[in-house]
Amino acid sequence: MIAAAERRAGRDSPDFELAGRDHSVAALDRLSALLADDMQAVNRIIVDRMHSPVALIPQLAGYIVAAGGKRLRPLLTLAAADLCGYTGTRHHKLAAAVEFIHTATLLHDDVVDESERRRGQDSANTLFGNQASVLVGDFLFSRSFELMVEDGSLDVLRILSRASAVIAEGEVLQLATTNNLKTSESEYLAVVAAKTAALFAAACEIGAIVADRPAADAAALQQFGTSFGIAFQIVDDVLDYSAREAKLGKTVGDDFREGKMTLPVVYAISRGSEIERTFWRRTLEDLDQREGDLEHAVALIERHGGFGSALDLARTHGALALEALNSLPLRPMRGTLAALVEFCINREF
Amino acid sequence: MIAAAERRAGRDSPDFELAGRDHSVAALDRLSALLADDMQAVNRIIVDRMHSPVALIPQLAGYIVAAGGKRLRPLLTLAAADLCGYTGTRHHKLAAAVEFIHTATLLHDDVVDESERRRGQDSANTLFGNQASVLVGDFLFSRSFELMVEDGSLDVLRILSRASAVIAEGEVLQLATTNNLKTSESEYLAVVAAKTAALFAAACEIGAIVADRPAADAAALQQFGTSFGIAFQIVDDVLDYSAREAKLGKTVGDDFREGKMTLPVVYAISRGSEIERTFWRRTLEDLDQREGDLEHAVALIERHGGFGSALDLARTHGALALEALNSLPLRPMRGTLAALVEFCINREF
3-state secondary structure string across B99-152? HHHHHHHHHHHHHHHCCCEECCEECHHHHHCHHHHHHHHHHHHHHHHHHHHHHC
Q: How far is A48 from chain B (nearest CA, A)?
A: 15
Top pLDDT among B71 and A127 is at B71
Give the count of alpha carbons within 13 A of A343, CB side only: 17
* Kind and range of the H or E run holding B284: none
Q: Using 50, 70 and 90 to split pLDDT, how confident is the model at A117?
A: low
Residue B9's nearest CA partner among B251, B218, B264, B281 is B264
A191-200, B140-149, B242-251: lowest mean pLDDT where?
B242-251
* Interchain proximity B56–A175, CB inside 8 Å: yes
* Interchain proximity A158–B165, CB inside 8 Å: no
Scanning every residue of chain B, which has its alpha carbon at the shortest distance from the alpha carbon of A159? B146
The number of C-beta contacts closer than 8 angstroms across A and B is 136
Top pLDDT among A280 and B114 is at A280
Q: Using 50, 70 and 90 to split pLDDT, how confident is the model at A113?
A: low
Residues of B in contact with A168 (CB under 8 A): 57, 135-136, 138-139, 142
| A6-55: pLDDT as tens digits | 333 333 333 333 333 444 447 888 898 899 999 999 999 999 999 999 99
* Interchain proximity B168–A130, CB inside 8 Å: no
* Interchain proximity B108–A134, CB inside 8 Å: yes
Calculate mean pLDDT across residues B339-344. 93
Give the pLDDT confidence score for residue A5 in this predicted structure. 38
Residues of A in contact with B153 (CB under 8 A): none
Q: How far is A157 from chain B (nearest CA, A)?
A: 7
Calculate mean pLDDT across residues A257-280. 97
Residues of B in contact with A138 (CB under 8 A): 104-105, 108, 141, 164, 167-168, 171
| B74-83: pLDDT as tens digits | 999 999 999 9
| B25-54: pLDDT as tens digits | 478 888 998 999 999 999 999 999 999 999
Give the pLDDT confidence score for residue B349 in this predicted structure. 61
Residue A40's nearest CA partner among A96, A105, A119, A88 is A96
What distance in Å separates the CA atoms of residue A199 and residue A228, rounded to the nearest whole number? 11
Residues of B in contact with A56 (CB under 8 A): 172, 175-176
Calculate mean pLDDT across residues B20-26. 46
Neighbours of A332 (CB within 10 A): 10
Q: Using 50, 70 and 90 to split pLDDT, how confident is the model at A69?
A: confident
* Interchain proximity A135–B172, CB inside 8 Å: yes
Give the pLDDT confidence score for residue A109 in this predicted structure. 87
Residues of B in contact with A171 (CB under 8 A): 135, 138
In this complex, the residue of A54, A158, A175 whose CB is nearest that of residue B173 is A54
Give the pLDDT confidence score for residue A9 in this predicted structure. 36
Residue A81's nearest CA partner among A49, A42, A24, A28 is A42
Q: How far is B110 from chain A (nearest CA, A)?
A: 10
What distance in Å separates the CA atoms of residue B147 and residue B44, rounded to the nearest whole number? 13
Calculate mean pLDDT across residues B115-137. 76
| Positive/negative CA dihedral, B238, B244, B247, B249 | positive
* Interchain proximity A134–B149, CB inside 8 Å: no
Q: Using 50, 70 and 90 to split pLDDT, how confident is the model at B325?
A: very high
Calculate mean pLDDT across residues A187-216. 98
**Phi, psi torsion values for A121, nearest 5 degrees:** -135, 175
Mutate to test the interface with B, among A49, A102, A134 (most CBs of B within 10 A): A134
Whether pLDDT at B19 is above 90: no
Whether pLDDT at A247 is above 70: no
Scanning every residue of chain A, which has its alpha carbon at the shortest distance from the alpha carbon of B132? A172
| A309-334: pLDDT as tens digits | 999 999 999 999 999 999 999 999 99
* Interchain proximity A164–B138, CB inside 8 Å: yes
* Interchain proximity B165–A139, CB inside 8 Å: yes
Give the pLDDT confidence score for residue B245 in this predicted structure. 54
Reported pTM: 0.90
* Interchain proximity A143–B132, CB inside 8 Å: no
Residues of B in contact with A106 (CB under 8 A): none
Q: How far is B14 from chain A (nearest CA, A)?
A: 35
Q: Using 50, 70 and 90 to split pLDDT, how confident is the model at B62?
A: confident
* Interchain proximity A157–B157, CB inside 8 Å: yes
Residues 6+ apart with CB under 8 A from B249: B119, B120, B349
Q: Are A191 and A208 in contact (CB under 8 A)?
A: no
What distance in Å separates the CA atoms of residue A312 and residue A18, rounded to the nearest whole number? 11
Q: Using 50, 70 and 90 to split pLDDT, how confident is the model at B249?
A: low
The DSSP string of A231-266 is HHHHHHHHHHHHS-HHHHTS-TTHHHHHT---HHHH
Question: What ipTM did this prediction achieve?
Answer: 0.89
What distance in Å separates the CA atoms of residue A145 and residue A136, rounded to the nearest whole number? 14
Scanning every residue of chain A, which has its alpha carbon at the shortest distance from the alpha carbon of B59? A172
| B150-196: pLDDT as tens digits | 999 999 999 999 999 999 999 999 999 999 999 999 999 999 999 99
